[in-house]
Chains A and B, each alone.
Chain A
Amino acid sequence: MNPFSTEALLAALKAQLPGVTVELQRNEAPSAQHSWLIAAQDAVVVAQWLRDKEGFDFCSNVTGVDWPTYLEVVYHLYSIEKRIGPVILRMRTGDRDKSVHLPSLTHVWRAAELQEREIFDLYGVIFDGHADLRRILMWDGFEGHPMRRDYVEPDDYEYEPTAHDHVAERASKHTTGGAE
């Protein structure tokens, strides 16, 4: 990988696109991979600038994160032609149930297509502009978003011989003969 400074690139972005709201989020781990927090309305403009002007043609990973008051989507971008990276973009939703819309970056990087569908399926973030937003890993009639921290799985335990902790409590209601 060629040497690369994400702060310098952010400064260049702010110089060329002055109206855009982007802040640097520092990462305290030894990996030192700092990220950019973007406002949702500026995401597409920043993404297109990165792809067309700076050569970040490869979107490696799209992740969803569940924080206590909002949901977040993280993009890891690399440049194949210049051998630099990663540039990490973060977008946050307003809250966890009512305003969960974020712009989709699928038409900028096609790699985000299936991964954004997965975030919709498992977290419930709705991506505006995605061509085919439907559940991908769970079945079509499924209700709920499994990766959220407050998701309660249905307890349909048949038999758990070495149940521990909360599984033991819930399993004991199903097994005939009482608690394990």
Chain B
Amino acid sequence: MNTELLGVPPDTITRREVIYDQEGETLEISMGPHHPSTHGVFRMDVRLEGERIVRLKPVIGYLHRNHEKIAEGTTYLGSIPYTDRLDYFCSLTNNWAYCMAVEQLAGFEVPDRAQYLRVILSELTRLQNHASAVGFLVQDMGASGTPIMYAFREREKILDLFEALTGSRMMCNYMRFGGCRVDLPAGWIDQLKALMKTLPAFLEEFEKLLVSNEILMARTQGVGVLSAKLAVNAGVTGPMLRATGVNYDLRKVDGYGFYPRFEFKVPLGEHGDVYDRYMIRVLEMRESVKILNQAIEQLPEGPIIDPKAKLRGFRPKPGESYGRLEAPKGELGFYLISDGSPNPYRYRVRPPSFVNLTILEDMCLGANIADAVIILGSVDIVLGEVDR
């Protein structure tokens, strides 16, 4: 192993190991956990022949906090703040997925107003997640900072709304079993309506910035192609699955949380490449705006939590349940086994980013090393979720 090329002694733990074969044919690189483009502490062991990838193994676990075991030692209520920290961009959908699993386990019914609030917050989460995801993808391509900062400007307005309602910008901890924690403060709906007026203009501007950009099209079209059959078999969900042309959006399929009352389309791709995934996220942002406008109009008055639900001393009867919903990154599921005690017996998170990484190698084989970064960006992973 020839590490003196890097100027470090051979026994130092280096972030990047450069191994030259005898004939100098293949190069093995570790795109190591400290990397500006790997969306967190994620490592890929890549073997290159020139610039073409011949092998790619993802290595994860750098952010593993054993969330599932912590949940076995915490009450059901106490796990809700920990679910915020799974996919830390989308804390409200994490909360909702967990509360949905517990509500199925215990038989709580959520009142109408709470369901509408959940839909509103979930669509706001989807908006800000897709804006960041697109921004990060474009930043990986080299548009260093401009589109992402425009996206973050709008994202801050959404996070201001979250702070006004839940108290915190990202770790919202807002949903409770049977409804929501607290009702809307005065002026929140007006702030939301004002945002809805300016958001379409931002989306137009964002699209105009990028959509016919020749560099973007050349770098993303035909890159990282995934076939529909392989995607379904590999458990891929979310915008990645819809980019291959499979019409599977849990908001339409499961119809949870009053989504059947809203009219919205599900954008589908044709080629399953990075460009399709990028465009689907942009189009989904528009659909989210549509859903939000309808939800704001239809929002009823009423209680925001099931009166049967109590905060302390919650002991569901023995049983199990699997609750899933369409998080911005894919299908987020929670599997709970209860044995009648205040803590869950088994608490499992089905993370969309983790399962979507199964076919990372398949998509990257034969592509250039620069494309590996873009393909990873289009999978849209968050390490908090991958590692838990």
The reply to whether chain A is a binding partner of chain B is yes
Interface size on A, residues (CB 8 A): 36
Chain B residues near A74 (CB, 8 Å)?
A: 335
Asked if B359 CB lies within 8 Å of chain A CBs, one says: yes
Question: Which of B60, B69, B233, B350 contacts A61 (CB under 8 A)?
Answer: B350
Question: Is the beta-carbon distance between A83 and B317 smaller than 8 angstroms?
Answer: no
Question: Is the beta-carbon distance between B254 and A29 smaller than 8 angstroms?
Answer: no
| Residue of B whose beta carbon sits closest to that of A108 | B233
Question: Is the beta-carbon distance between B61 and A80 smaller than 8 angstroms?
Answer: no
| Residue of A whose beta carbon sits closest to that of B232 | A57
Question: Is the beta-carbon distance between A110 and B358 smaller than 8 angstroms?
Answer: yes
Chain B residues near A60 (CB, 8 Å)?
A: 235, 324, 331, 333, 350
Measured in the bound complex, the distance between the Cα atoms of B144 and A126 in whole Å is: 45
Interface size on B, residues (CB 8 A): 46
Mark out the residues of chain B between 57 and 90 whose CB falls within 8 Å of any chain A CB in the assembled complex: 60-61, 64, 66, 68-69, 72
Q: How far is the CB of A119 from chain B (nearest CB, A)?
A: 10
Given contacts A63-B335, A63-B346, A109-B235, contact A137 B60 (CB under 8 A): yes
Question: Is the beta-carbon distance between B106 and A30 smaller than 8 angstroms?
Answer: yes
Asked if A138 CB lies within 8 Å of chain B CBs, one says: yes
Q: How far is the CB of B302 from chain A (nearest CB, A)?
A: 22
| Residue of B whose beta carbon sits closest to that of A135 | B61
Q: How far is the CB of A142 from chain B (nearest CB, A)?
A: 10
| Residue of A whose beta carbon sits closest to that of B359 | A110
Question: Is the beta-carbon distance between B335 and A138 smaller than 8 angstroms?
Answer: no
Mark out the residues of chain A between 130 and 158 whose CB falls within 8 Å of any chain B CB in the assembled complex: 135-139, 146-147, 149
Asked if A100 CB lies within 8 Å of chain B CBs, one says: no
Measured in the bound complex, the distance between the Cα atoms of B233 and A9 in whole Å is: 21
Asked if A176 CB lies within 8 Å of chain B CBs, one says: no
Measured in the bound complex, the distance between the Cα atoms of B250 and A58 in whole Å is: 13
- Further 12 A-B residue pairs, CB within 8 A, beyond A30-B319, A80-B232: A29-B316, A31-B321, A31-B322, A33-B320, A57-B232, A57-B233, A58-B235, A63-B335, A65-B345, A83-B253, A111-B358, A114-B354
- 13 of the cross-chain contacts (CB-CB < 8 Å) are A27-B321, A29-B107, A29-B338, A31-B105, A33-B320, A60-B235, A63-B335, A74-B335, A80-B248, A109-B233, A110-B230, A111-B233, A111-B234
